Amino acid sequence: MKDYDLEQELAAAMLDRSRQEPPCSYDVDGLVGSVRRRRRRLQAGAAAAVAIVALGAGFLSQADHDRVSLPVQAPTAPSAVLPPSPPPVEPPSPSPSATASASAWDSDSASKPADPARTTSTLFLAALRYQNPAARSQVDLVAVAALFADESAYQRIWGADSTGVTCGSSVDGVLVAGEVLLYQGVERLDRAPSPTFDGPTGKVTDLTCGAVVGGSKGGDPTVSGFYGGLVAAAKSGDSTAMSRLGRQFVTANLRSAQGPTAGTCSSTTPPFWLADNPSSGTLTHGWTVNLGGPYEFPIQIDENAKIATSCGK
């Protein structure tokens, strides 16, 4: 059989097959209508779901409204009219010592342990302020009384003028390290106070004053020399002391950086000084100093016994 005859036979067989199984026909109008009906069913279902959610939210909102805004029925019968009550009578203001006695030893303050080291610094700083007429108004006697274990210790040690804290003398300098050293100007007093603390609360129960043994000034000669010298100069009116003491006790670098008030945080005439919290390093050691103002500042003393940094710089 030739190729031509084979092609004829295949063409005839395909024609017979197409006649026996005609292709499917589609009703365009019916198909479009079916699609539209399905779309309408989907839209109706979505709308119903939205309505259910909104209805549920309405129920919750109504429940909250009913819970927080229930009407309160007003009384039907008028209440009796009472005469106005007289204004309260205020008691007379207590004196500072009475206020301290009444407020300093309540149960709340007694239950909070105090830090003996911090109590010591606070107590002597308060005494320095109280002994200076210009700073006496800054002392809160209630806060001072709270440093003591009870009223008896407060009255016995602080007394009427705080000199019981400083061994019977008015002082203008205190250096607190392992012991408490009292100064007038640059001179150390011959008596040293030693507080005793209550174990559970850390508050002062007693204070004893012992004689200083030997003729040594003790303490830190740079701190007492510089700040004690400034206080003494302020009392005497010596305007040249700041420059002279600066050259003696402050490094040239610090004087160049901070100017004429180097080492004092801008205080030129301090009424008193208190130094505490000694810290040591390899070649330097430092103190925290208060010169009678509301703030204290750190100093660092170098290996040459000069103040190398002050006021955090």
Per-position pLDDT tens, the chain of length 313: 556 567 777 777 776 666 665 555 556 566 556 656 766 776 666 655 544 544 454 544 454 444 444 344 444 444 444 555 555 544 444 444 544 555 566 544 445 678 899 999 999 999 999 999 989 999 999 999 999 999 999 999 999 999 999 999 999 999 998 889 999 999 999 999 999 999 899 999 999 999 987 655 568 999 999 999 999 999 999 989 999 999 999 999 999 999 989 999 888 789 999 999 888 888 899 999 999 888 899 999 999 999 999 988 7
Looking at residue 281, its pLDDT comes to 84
Looking at residue 286, its pLDDT comes to 94
Place of tokens 């002082």: 171
Looking at residue 28, its pLDDT comes to 56
Looking at residue 25, its pLDDT comes to 55
Looking at residue 305, its pLDDT comes to 95
Q: Let me know if 234 is exposed, middle or buried by CB neighbors in 10 A (0-12, 13-18, 19+).
A: buried
Dig out the tokens for 145 from the structure. 């009384």
Place of tokens 């106005």: 84
The vertex-192 CA angle with 182 and 195, nearest 5°, equals: 105
Looking at residue 92, its pLDDT comes to 44
Looking at residue 178, its pLDDT comes to 82
